[in-house]
Amino acid sequence: MLKKAFPDTPRRCHSTIDSAGASRDNQQRMARIVLENLSRIFKGPKGDAVRAVHNVSLNIEDKEFLVLVGPSGCGKSTTLRMIAGLEEVSPGTIFIDEKIGNDIVPQGRDVALVVQNYSLYLHITVYYNMAFGLKLRKHSYAEIQRRGHEAAEILDITPLLGRLPKALSGGQRQRVAVGRAIVRQPKAFLFDEPLSNLDAQMRVQMRMEIARLHRRLGATMVYVTHDQVEAMTLGDRIAVMRDGVIQQVADPIQTYHHPANVFVAGFIGAPPMNFFRGTLCGDGAGLYFAAEGPGGPGFKLKLPSDHATRLASSLDRPVIFGLRPEDVKVSASGPDRRQAGGPGADSDFVLPATVELVEPLGSETIFHLTTGAHAFVSRVGPAERLEPGQTVQVTFDPAQFRFFDAVTERAIA
């Protein structure tokens, strides 16, 4: 049994946090994680091979915060569990701090895993929940107390050290689960959808706490989520996964504005990117995108000169045209408004449309629009007032046009 390690007023831990934000004991314990051709194959119900992760290669730099994001079943949690040693690798290689980790048992990899289920011991206090693992590893009483109080100060849970888990809120329990990982002072932290059980407001608060924790510890962190907002706000880089394959690895802004393919463009962003299928065609006046609707030809858009240069090799080929909702500007239609193809500097990018649905969200308004057989979405500020059924003019921002190959769905411009 551990000694009681917290008096009525908990003592400050003996170590300090330096100005760079990392515990002096942790500064030399961060790790670089490298995955080489990592796969995980399960046996299906009929004995067939089910490939959950396929040939993943990824470098996670020392002190980096990398987020694995994708829809349910894409293999992100399986990848994380292979790093932790809880799933067998079949085949591939995992390097942790330049050492091959495939055959190292989980407790020997020196990584800490925080999962969706808090997994706290309900019959012992917050302090003992955090200290229990250190006791099993035979750390001294003084060391356990020092690490426990340091973690409590970092997470602002010092007043909770004497409580049982049942007396805590969901957010407080998650802090305790993170604290249990911090006291181990691991080489890397692994988070497997740790905020899924929290309500929306608490998720925002805990995102801030985890981001602050990364800055303070300077630790290597790998974070798994299906929530693109978490990915965009937390990650130094995000790795987007689909069907066990990494689709793109880049910083959040690069991923949002320059998606590698149609899947990334549609998954990252809410509402998602608008897509139109059609063909690139040209005449003496330049290059055009001719949209194709279910019932036949749709609208035509002239392409800016820079796009025309990059897309010249795709002439007369089917493509997918993509545009973010915020790059679709909407204005009320009237007799003095320009029509598509009419005179004006940007008339080549203006189309008539009909408002189908309005979603006022306070800080912004989402308009669901149609032009002919094509449906798309615009995101504008709260001041724009339109009604369903109203005819409007929409302007597509030519600087934000994105094009994808219709067959491979990879970005081409």
| DSSP labels, 270-335 | SSPPEEEEEEEEEETTEEEEEEEETTEEEEEEEPPHHHHHHTGGGTTSEEEEEE-GGGEEEEE--T
Q: Which residues are CB-neighbours of 7 under 8 A, at least 6 positions away?
A: none
pLDDT score of 23? 42
Residues of the chain within CATH 2.40.50.140 domain(s) are: 274-405
pLDDT of the residue at 73: 92
Stretch (H or E) spanning 48:
none
| Gyration radius (Cα) of the chain, Å | 26
What is the DSSP annotation of 361-413? -SS-EEEEEEETTEEEEEEE-TT----TT-EEEEEE-GGG-EEEETTT-BB--
Q: Looking at the whole model, is its pTM more than 0.95? A: no
Q: What pLDDT was estimated at residue 9? A: 37
- The pLDDT assigned to 197 comes to 82
pLDDT at residue number 171:
86
Q: List where CATH 3.40.50.300 sits in the chain.
A: 33-267
Q: CATH code for 274-405? A: 2.40.50.140
Q: Which pLDDT score is estimated for 22?
A: 40
pLDDT of residue 54: 95
SS3 100: strand
| Residue 297, pLDDT score | 65
Q: Which pLDDT score, from 0 to 100, does residue 29 have?
A: 55
pLDDT in tens, 211-268: 999 998 889 999 999 999 999 999 999 999 999 999 999 999 999 999 999 999 999 9
pLDDT of residue 302: 84
Q: What pLDDT is attached to residue 30?
A: 61
pLDDT at 254: 96
- What is the rounded CA–CA span in Å between residue 230 and residue 225? 7
Quick one: CATH architecture of 33-267? 3-Layer(aba) Sandwich (3.40)
Residues 394, 328 contacting (CB under 8 angstroms): yes
- Report which DSSP code applies to 339: P
Q: Which residues of the chain have pLDDT under 70?
A: 1-30, 284, 294-297, 333-348
Determine the pLDDT at residue 4.
Answer: 47
Q: What distance in Å separates the CA atoms of residue 405 and residue 339, rounded to the nearest whole number?
A: 30
